[in-house]
Amino acid sequence: MKRYLHRLILPLLLLVLWLVLNETLAPGQIALGAVLALLLGWAAMALRPLQAYPKKPLTAIKLIWHVAVDITYSNVAVARIILLGDKANATPGFLKIPLRIRDPHGLAALACIVTYTPGTVWADYSENDGMLVLHVLDLKDEQQWLHTIQHRYESPLLEIFE
C-alpha cells in the first residue's frame, strides 16, 4: 500500500502545478491535468529503473543544515582568497578519500554537496576501491577534510540511503 502511495506523489505534484499554472479549478482542467500528470508520472518512473528509498528524514534535515553552514563558511573563505588577494597563501591540492558508501543515490548526493561547496571539486571516483579524489582550493589540513567528508557528509548519507 505504501508503495502505491509513494508512486502518486509525483502525479499529485504535477496536477497541482498544472492547476496553479492554469489558475483554475474547472472540472475539465482537473481531468486533463490528472491524465497528463499520470502519464508524465508513469513516463518519469520508467526512465528511472533504480528507485531511491531514503530513510531517516531527521538525519537528512541535519545533513542539509550542516551543508548549508559549510557552504556559507566556504563562500567566505573563497571570497577572502579572491577578493583580498590572499592567493599566495592558498595551497591548492588533491586529496584521496576512501569512501564506504556504494549506493548511487548517496554518491550522487555526496557529489552534489562537494560540487556546491565553493573551493572543492569532485575530481574522480573509482568504483573498484571506493576512492574519491577531491581537489581543494586551500588544502592546509588534510585530516580536517577527511573528517569533513567521511564523518560530516558520508556517515549521514550512509544512514539515509543504505
Domain boundaries, the chain: 2-47, 57-161
50-73 as b/e, with b when 16 or more CB fall inside 10 Å? eeeeeeeeebbeebeeebeebeee
Summarize pLDDT for 49-98 with one digit per residue, the tens. 677 777 888 999 999 999 999 999 999 988 888 887 766 677 888 999 99
- CA 133, CA 75: separation in Å to the nearest integer? 21
| Pairing status of strand 131-136 against strand 120-126 | antiparallel
Integer CA distances (angstroms), 38 to 9, 43, 78, 101, in order: 10, 9, 45, 34
Query: Are the C-beta atoms of residues 28 and 134 closer than 8 Å to each other?
Result: no
> What's the mean per-residue pLDDT of the chain?
87
**pTM, 2 dp:** 0.72
* DSSP 8-state assignment for residue 50: S
Mean pLDDT of 14-20: 90
- CA 6, CA 19: separation in Å to the nearest integer? 21
